[in-house]
Amino acid sequence: MGKLDGKVAIVTGGGGRECRGVALALTKEGARIAIVGSDESNWADTAKEIAKMGGKILSVSCDVRVKTQVDEAVEEVIKEYGRVDILVNCDTMVPAQGQLLEDTSVEDIELVIDTILFGAAFFCQSCFHYMRAQGGGRIINMGGMTGLVTGEGFGPYMMGKDSLIGLTRAVSNEWGKYGIRINTIYTAGYEEVIEEYRRFRPDLLPDIEFNVPAGRWGDPEKDIGRVVAFLAGPDADFICGETIIVDGGLKPSWQIAPFDAE
């Protein structure tokens, strides 16, 4: 038996490597999964993989930036599963790399903030009443690697991901009394950006890996997903409002370098 048997988890995004790893790790602990995202092509493979494992999977199309769509998505999960115990805010948005903040358009900033911060806040709000009525729940916000290191050209993304810490503290302060536990995880997992480095700037990979004392990037399921599963389970009941670093010892002095993939 898994530690999350009988639990229902909403994972937003669902298409990226990290979101996929989280969904798989939760499934292996017995949770029923609802993947919520705006583009079915991004999470269709994850849904198929969970189904092949024998896991219960529900896929819901939703623009996380629109509160009414978020409410409807959560209602669909409740209609299908009858409850929601775990929320993992994994959806993200990365604008053009290498663009300095002074040159970034208002539209790009709004797109990133609306997706990362507003999307997470909307899902928290939509799940709150169900979690409170059930006597508690778990919320995990997925921070980004750029919150761990320095570097230029990722301004809106850094702003969006770091804002999740404030959201985490606010929810912890206000909803902890209802048994709702929320934490943020900052990771150095093997995300799409590392794959892009491998494809377009393999010369930078030795420097990147050198700056991770563990000698490798985190596996999305085994290293990142399992931490999420732990925080979603009963053994983490006294962990709330925290920022958990899962980065293999990534050196904060390392500067992530943007590149042009064209």
Query: Does residue 254 belong to any structural domain of this protein?
Result: no
Task: Summarize the confidence of residues 76-83 as an average pLDDT.
Answer: 97
- CA 160, distance to chain mean position in Å, is 12
Q: Which of 224, 239, 244, 243 is nearest to 11 (CA)?
A: 224
Cβ distance 33 to 11 under 8 Å?
yes
Sign of the C-alpha dihedral computed for residues 224, 229, 232 and 238 taken in this order: negative
Name the 3-class secondary structure at 38.
coil
Q: Which two tokens stand for residue 147?
A: 């919150």
CA nearest 42: which of 21, 16, 68, 19? 16
Whether 48 has a pLDDT exceeding 60, the answer reads: yes
Rounded to two decimals, the pTM is 0.90
Q: Which residue is listed with tokens 């064209």?
A: 262
For residues 99 and 56, what is the distance between their CA atoms, to the nearest angstrom?
41
DSSP 58-77: EEEE--TT-HHHHHHHHHHH
Q: Which domain holds residue 17?
A: 8-246
Per residue in 166-220, pLDDT tens? Answer: 999 999 999 999 999 999 999 877 665 666 667 767 776 766 666 777 877 788 8
Residues 152 and 257 sit within 8 Å (Cβ to Cβ): no
156 or 257, greater pLDDT: 156
pLDDT tens string 228-258: 999 999 999 999 999 999 888 776 655 665 5
Strand ranges (E), 51-189: 57-61, 86-89, 137-142, 180-187
In a domain, residue 90? The reply is yes
pLDDT at res. 261: 45
143, part of any domain: yes
Residue 208 lies in a domain: yes
Q: What is the β-pairing status of strands 32-37 and 8-12?
A: parallel
Bridge partners for 139 per DSSP: 87, 182
238: three-class secondary structure by DSSP: coil
CA of residue 36 relative to chain centroid, distance? 12
Residue 79 lies in a domain: yes
Looking up residue 144, the CATH number of its domain turns out to be 3.40.50.720
CA-based Rg of the chain, rounded to a whole angstrom?
A: 18
Domain presence at residue 259: no
Q: What's the structural domain count of the chain? A: 1
Cβ(32)–Cβ(238) below 8 Å: no
pLDDT digits over 99-154, tens only? 778 888 888 888 888 989 999 999 999 999 999 999 999 999 998 776 666 667 77
Predicted pLDDT at 239: 97
Residue with tokens 């358009």: 105
Task: Please report whether residue 216 resides in a domain.
Answer: yes
Report the residue count for the chain.
Answer: 262
pLDDT tens, position by position, 57-66: 999 999 999 9
CB 33 within 8 A of CB 50: yes
Residue 255 falls within a domain, yes or no?
no
